Amino acid sequence: MAALILWPAGTLAYPAAWVLLGLITVGGLAMILWLSKHSPSLLRERMASPLQRDQKPWDRVWLSLFMLGFCAWMAFMGWDAARTAFTAVPLWLQVLGGLAILVNSVATWWTFRENSFAAPVVKIQKGQHVIDTGPYAIVRHPMYAGALLLLVGLPLLLGSWLGLAFSVLFILGIAWRAVHEERALREGLAGYEDYAARVRYRFIPFVW
């Protein structure tokens, strides 16, 4: 992540990038420690390869493209912020972006606490059942809902207006995946149809 951002920026004097790297490092280590104690099986799933044998074939393609696009996006934002001397986005909006990233981390932890089947790939796991507590009582895809904040917070923190514009593509991509993931869950997970009828919204209550 450091190379992706700092190399295109052409300098180490990029405070927002170091703030982001700090947030990712501290948040990632905290999540690993928590999962190792409370849900080792989920930690193994999250640390496994993003391309798996029992993964839906369309999801292998989607995830590969998403990861490549995300890396290119991060590099582009470093370059774009440097092009405007890191002054394009006001400081208060950068702080807001950092807070959005923190809220995403909390949303991810809340999701993991409620759902030990929150694998990074689309598949039906042995023993998997419908989760309808915690954030799942509010929206059907709480991790995706948190990811919306991450996708908006990253360009704001890094100081790239063009990066913020491109975040729309990633949000639409996640929405596409959510719709197709639900088709797999309706077909392979008992009770999901009834759950979807009870919890009407995927990402944002009263919106979608």
Instruction: Round to whole Å and give the CA distance between 18 and 46.
Output: 25
- The 8 Å CB, 24+ separation contacts for 59-62 are 59/121, 59/122, 59/123, 59/177, 59/180, 59/181, 60/121, 62/173, 62/176, 62/177, 62/180
What confidence tens digit (pLDDT) does each residue in 38-92 have?
A: 999 999 999 988 888 888 899 999 999 999 999 999 999 999 999 999 999 999 9
Sign of CA dihedral 6, 104, 168, 179: positive
* Domain residue ranges of the chain, discontinuous segments joined by +: 2-198
Asked if 108 and 146 touch (Cβ cutoff 8 Å), the reply is yes
Per residue in 27-51, pLDDT tens? Answer: 999 999 999 999 999 999 999 888 8
Return d(Cα 37, Cα 77) in angstroms, integer. Answer: 36
CATH 1.20.120.1630 is the classification of domain 2-198:
yes
Q: What digits encode the pLDDT tens for the residues 140-158?
A: 999 999 999 999 999 999 9
